[in-house]
Amino acid sequence: IAGITQAPTSQILAAGRRMTLRCTQDMRHNAMYWYRQDLGLGLRLIHYSNTAGTTGKGEVPDGYSVSRANTDDFPLTLASAVPSQTSVYFCASSQDNGETQYFGPGTRLLVL
Amino acid sequence: GIQVEQSPPDLILQEGANSTLRCNFSDSVNNLQWFHQNPWGQLINLFYIPSGTKQNGRLSATTVATERYSLLYISSSQTTDSGVYFCAVEPGDSNYQLIWGAGTKLIIKP
């Protein structure tokens, strides 16, 4: 079934640890995005990628890094997790920039 | 930066009722999208609507870009319509980034 998968579904992480959230899409979309959603708020863009090999910073990039080695995968890394990074993380993709975005199921992350 | 405001913040309705959700934005936009987040957290795109009117079953949306607002209409509400409805806009100078409103939480009672 075509779509976006994210892993893990949820994670409890000690502060200071490194963590990579995985995102894979099989729709051959060029653009991919990482958002965080905090309780009671809309989504905020962390990083994006317009095409394989390129990435860009969103609204809230500090403390996060991404890579886009190929079309399908767009991992998000927290180099040294802090409690303020506790959130639900959504990966999304669109055929091209500025087009309809499709979302993965999310990863719930708790940093203690 | 651009401000995106959604109203009302919360809405409770009986099954079968109609509703109108509003999204105001403070500057020109390249596009606007409406999303539904169900009670289990899944986000589904409803409309890609930079201007004009679109309909999909019981849902329809209208964006008046010159007046900087969009409306989402839900007719004959069902309990499965419950969840949070988000409006997200791409500002004119954004390099394709979406800025999201805080959402309208809709509860449909049976």
Question: Residue A1 pLDDT > 60, yes or no?
Answer: no
Residue B8 neighbours by CB distance under 10 Å: 12
Segment A63-73 mean pLDDT: 97
Q: With beta carbons less than 8 A apart as the criterion, state whether A19 and A81 touch.
A: yes
Reported as a single tens digit per residue, the pLDDT across A18-52 is: 999 999 999 999 999 999 999 878 899 999 999 99
Which chain B positions have a beta carbon within 8 Å of A106's beta carbon? 41-43
Question: Residue B7 pLDDT > 80, yes or no?
Answer: yes
- For residue B96, give the nearest of A42, A44, A97 by CB distance: A97
Strand segments (E) across chain A: 4-7, 10-13, 19-25, 31-37, 43-49, 56-57, 64-66, 76-78, 87-94, 102-103, 107-111
Q: Please give the mean pLDDT across all residues of chain B.
A: 94
Cα separation values, B83 from A43, A84, A90, B4, B44, Å = 15, 25, 17, 19, 11
Q: Which of A43, A59, A99 to mutate to test the interface with B (most CBs of B within 10 A)?
A: A43
- For residue A41, give the nearest of B45, B99, B102 by CB distance: B102
Confidence (pLDDT) at A97: 81
In chain A, the residue whose alpha carbon lies closest to the alpha carbon of B36 is A103
Q: Residue A73 and residue A75: Cα distance in Å, rounded? A: 6
Which chain A positions have a beta carbon within 8 Å of B102's beta carbon? 40-42
Question: Residue B94 pLDDT > 90, yes or no?
Answer: no
Reported as a single tens digit per residue, the pLDDT across A43-67 is: 999 999 999 999 999 999 999 999 9
| Beta-carbon separation of A45 and B97 below 8 A | yes
